[in-house]
Amino acid sequence: MIVANDKTFCCTGCKNVYELLEENNLCTYYSLDSTPGITGNQPANEARFAYLDDEGVEAQLLNFKNDSIAKVTFYAPQMHCSSCIWLLENLFKLNPGISESTVNFLRKEISVTFFHQKTTLREVVTLLARIGYEPSITLADTDGKKETKKNYSLIYKLGIAGFSFGNVMLLAFPDYLSLGEEVQRDFGKFFGYLSILLSLPVLFYSARGFFESAWAGIQQRMVNIDLPIATGLLALFITSTYQIISATGPGYLDSFTGLVFFMLIGKYFQQKTYDTLSFDRDYTSYFPVSVTVLKENGEEESVAVRNLKVGDRIRIRNQELIPADAMLLRGTAMVDYSFVSGESELVEKVVGEVIYAGGRQAGESIELEVVKEVSQGYLTQLWNNSVFSKNEEQSMETYANVAGKWFIIVTLLVAAGALIYWVPRDTSMAMRAFTSVLIIACPCALSLSTPFVHGNTLRIFGKHKFFLKNTGVVETLAKIDTVVFDKTGTLTEPSAAELSYSGKILTPEQEQSLKSVLRHSTHPLSQRIFQAIAGEAQEVHGFEEFAGKGLVGEVNGHFIRLGSASYLGVKADTSQDTLKTRVYVSIDGVVYGYYTFQNVYRSGLQDVLQGLEVGRVAVLSGDNNHEEARLRELLGQEAELNFNQSPVQKLEYIKELKNQNRHVLMVGDGLNDAGALKQSDAGIALTNSVTNFSPSCDAILDATAFNKLSKFIGFSKKSMNIILASFAVSLVYNVVGLTMAVQGIFTPIVSAILMPISSVSVIVFATLSVRYAAKKAGL
């Protein structure tokens, strides 16, 4: 909650709106008449936008530019309420150089049109940053124009199929109402030919996908679900056309168009996407566009990150990202690696140490010398691995495809059988039975149940903050038999750490003295201990802080020192020495004891681990093994624990598991897990805020829903059972239908009515049973 002027606001946007209006004595929300001068809190450093003045960068960011205007689209993840829209669409009142700004709220995008003679791209970005919507401009934005245009071909297909379906059905109405004889005589030909005309776009455009997929399957010598569908559709269309042209019947074009329409609805339902989420990000979406390079004469220059060379000296300011592996030359680096490793504790680096790319500097500005090019860094070389260059193929071994294979074999056998039986007896009956079998065995029900079961599962997961990339992930999750976790940030709660003190007991008075000394230090560990000790701080004399070592100060005549073991001259036993998170206390030269920071595991972890019904559980940690005992206790004796894993090693580990024919689920959170997430069958990225950056993955899980992870996996398995059940339902329908069709009992009208009913019943069955199962599973 954000508080200003005794009022609470839901976000900085709302607060800014209020402040803007308040400043101009215009507290009526709707009457911002004149341009309000913004004097509000300005972020310390707007020089970081200097790179936007560079023409090359500008050209890559702008969508359009002519003599007078320029258009640009930004992603602004901060917007989240209608006030945000209002403020962002009124940008032209804040900067007269802006002619128009339009928000797409669902995509969290803002498109700005501005007069580039009156204002600059940099000013626009600075204005956005000042009002609290700093656009995220990353390396990925300058890698070329991103394709944001959505593919609407499915909607076109659906529209055309729906149009044809409705009209053909209207023309087939006389048949339904058995007005046959008279109407057929007068209008039969006209209605028939018109129906063929209306069905042609459905055959050649709407149903195209089914034929193409079936053909691709044949070429790869694979039978997929689309082959029996394509056969059925083709049989339907040809029979109908033949009947109409030869004037032997009204045809089944209404069923034909209807089937295509229903199946496209299934495809559309399956195609749920989460607009604000991106599942394909790599490090370029996280890295900045440019960095400040120090030239030999001491001048600063903005240089595109891509052009950084080994040996360049760069300056990184507070909250800026270190874009390449570099050696620290000047200043104290406090690096926040939370996006890389999940570790929220700042890592302190001293002059001469190499800092890996991906960390964010907190504190003073530092100078570094680049030791590796951006794409060759410790972290970024991960993306040179072949897993990232391969295009992901949709697995052919889906339930639907496997079932489809058997379906077509059985169907063809039955059809051939009917043909052989009828030919010696009645040739016209033989043809009728043969086509009827093909038509009625068209596994539309089968191909409908899968998208609806998956689509509904996807939506239920989404409601519980578990976002899947596509419906195929549901099936992958159901097959998982090995789960691999990253430790830091995934199993542990990054923002919380347990603090414990061991050693000689401190008197409350002594604790107060410690607190007083700690108050003067900004080191995160000092701050944590400071908050943990209750009471008031006292006056401190002679305070001094030694970077990377510890603190010293005098309180009430007591000489207090806090810091690392080496700083206090403590000889810690070597096995414990690897514990970096230990702060020793010394009062008047006597070492009293130490504070230990221990990782806190996520709440509900126990339930998740118990609920996972998989054969193998493993942990990959980039850390050392000081938590091994606790992990053993949590995960059991069989679990495989691997420590000191580099990003590439994590990837290799998953590869090894896959070579053993395991279906691997990787759960990770940072950039260093990106390779493992990509390599695994299903990679889940855990994030504290879904709009934040997350590495490329198959699913994004909100950290608050972590305790439901085992339920999600269990439910995926259940949804596969539901697909099986709806297969069974449609199979029964097909068997009954087939036996009657083989005997030639069905009139066209009965088939025409049964077909849509069966489709709808499968949709209803799939939807209801998924909802019911979800309720039962507590989702």
Give contact residues for other proteins (rule: CB under 8 A).
9-10, 14, 17, 26-31, 33, 81-83, 85-86, 89, 102-107, 150, 152, 155-156, 159-160, 163, 166-167, 170-171, 186-187, 190, 194, 198
In sequence order, what DSSP letters do the residues of 688-738 get, joined into one string?
SSTTS---S-SEEEEGGGGGGHHHHHHHHHHHHHHHHHHHHHHHHHHHHHH
Nearest-approach distance from CB 151 to other proteins, in angstroms: 11
**Which helix (DSSP H) or strand (DSSP E) does residue 37 occupy?**
none
Measured from the CB atom, the residue of 29 and 64 that comes closer to other proteins is: 29
Which of 167, 333, 165, 334 has the alpha carbon at shortest distance from 258?
165
For residues 402 and 224, give the distance between their C-alpha atoms in angstroms, rounded to a whole number. 7
Rg of the chain on CA atoms, in Å: 33
CB atoms within 10 A of CB 509: 12
Nearest-approach distance from CB 198 to other proteins, in angstroms: 8
For residues 515 and 219, give the distance between their C-alpha atoms in angstroms, rounded to a whole number. 74
Measured from the CB atom, the residue of 156 and 546 that comes closer to other proteins is: 156
User: Six-digit token pair at 155?
Assistant: 């909607």
Contact partners, residue 306, CB within 8 Å, separation at least 6: 139, 142, 374
Nearest-approach distance from CB 639 to other proteins, in angstroms: 45
Measured from the CB atom, the residue of 185 and 390 that comes closer to other proteins is: 185
Measured from the CB atom, the residue of 190 and 772 that comes closer to other proteins is: 190
The 3 state secondary structure assigned to 597-666 is EEEEECCCHHHHHHHCCCCEEEEECCCCHHHHHHHHHHHCCCCEEECCCCHHHHHHHHHHHHHCCCCEEE
CB atoms within 10 A of CB 332: 15
Nearest-approach distance from CB 757 to other proteins, in angstroms: 24
Measured from the CB atom, the residue of 196 and 529 that comes closer to other proteins is: 196
Measured from the CB atom, the residue of 14 and 303 that comes closer to other proteins is: 14
Nearest-approach distance from CB 68 to other proteins, in angstroms: 24
For residues 383 and 733, give the distance between their C-alpha atoms in angstroms, rounded to a whole number. 50
**Which helix (DSSP H) or strand (DSSP E) does residue 411 occupy?**
helix 399-422
Measured from the CB atom, the residue of 159 and 611 that comes closer to other proteins is: 159
Nearest-approach distance from CB 193 to other proteins, in angstroms: 12
For residues 167 and 169, give the distance between their C-alpha atoms in angstroms, rounded to a whole number. 5
List the end-to-end C-alpha distance of the chain, in Å, as a whole number: 28
Establish how many alpha carbons lie within 13 A of residue 326's alpha carbon, considering only the half-sphere containing its beta carbon: 32
CB 305 within 8 A of CB 291: yes
Nearest-approach distance from CB 700 to other proteins, in angstroms: 21
Nearest-approach distance from CB 502 to other proteins, in angstroms: 50
Burial of 569 (C-beta count, 10 Å sphere; 0-12/13-18/19+): exposed
Measured from the CB atom, the residue of 191 and 256 that comes closer to other proteins is: 191
Nearest-approach distance from CB 767 to other proteins, in angstroms: 22
Nearest-approach distance from CB 191 to other proteins, in angstroms: 8
Nearest-approach distance from CB 83 to other proteins, in angstroms: 5
Measured from the CB atom, the residue of 197 and 350 that comes closer to other proteins is: 197
Measured from the CB atom, the residue of 106 and 505 that comes closer to other proteins is: 106
For residues 364 and 331, give the distance between their C-alpha atoms in angstroms, rounded to a whole number. 7
User: Six-digit token pair at 679?
Assistant: 């390599």
Nearest-approach distance from CB 10 to other proteins, in angstroms: 7
CB 254 within 8 A of CB 239: no
Which amino acid belongs to residue 597?
F
For residues 50 and 418, give the distance between their C-alpha atoms in angstroms, rounded to a whole number. 78
Nearest-approach distance from CB 24 to other proteins, in angstroms: 11
For residues 518 and 292, give the distance between their C-alpha atoms in angstroms, rounded to a whole number. 34
Nearest-approach distance from CB 340 to other proteins, in angstroms: 34
For residues 533 and 552, give the distance between their C-alpha atoms in angstroms, rounded to a whole number. 18
For residues 275 and 252, give the distance between their C-alpha atoms in angstroms, rounded to a whole number. 40
Measured from the CB atom, the residue of 169 and 340 that comes closer to other proteins is: 169
Nearest-approach distance from CB 115 to other proteins, in angstroms: 20
Beta strands in 66-97 (DSSP E): 69-75
- DSSP class of 345: S
For residues 93 and 726, give the distance between their C-alpha atoms in angstroms, rounded to a whole number. 58
3-state secondary structure of 297: coil
Measured from the CB atom, the residue of 40 and 166 that comes closer to other proteins is: 166
Measured from the CB atom, the residue of 79 and 223 that comes closer to other proteins is: 79
Which of 329, 363, 358, 367 has the alpha carbon at shortest distance from 348?
363
| Alpha helices by DSSP H, 118-152 | 121-130
**Which helix (DSSP H) or strand (DSSP E) does residue 450 occupy?**
helix 444-463
Nearest-approach distance from CB 171 to other proteins, in angstroms: 8
Measured from the CB atom, the residue of 160 and 657 that comes closer to other proteins is: 160
Measured from the CB atom, the residue of 12 and 761 that comes closer to other proteins is: 12
**Number of separate helices (H) and strands (E) present in the chain:** 25, 28
Measured from the CB atom, the residue of 9 and 765 that comes closer to other proteins is: 9
Nearest-approach distance from CB 152 to other proteins, in angstroms: 5
Measured from the CB atom, the residue of 168 and 774 that comes closer to other proteins is: 168
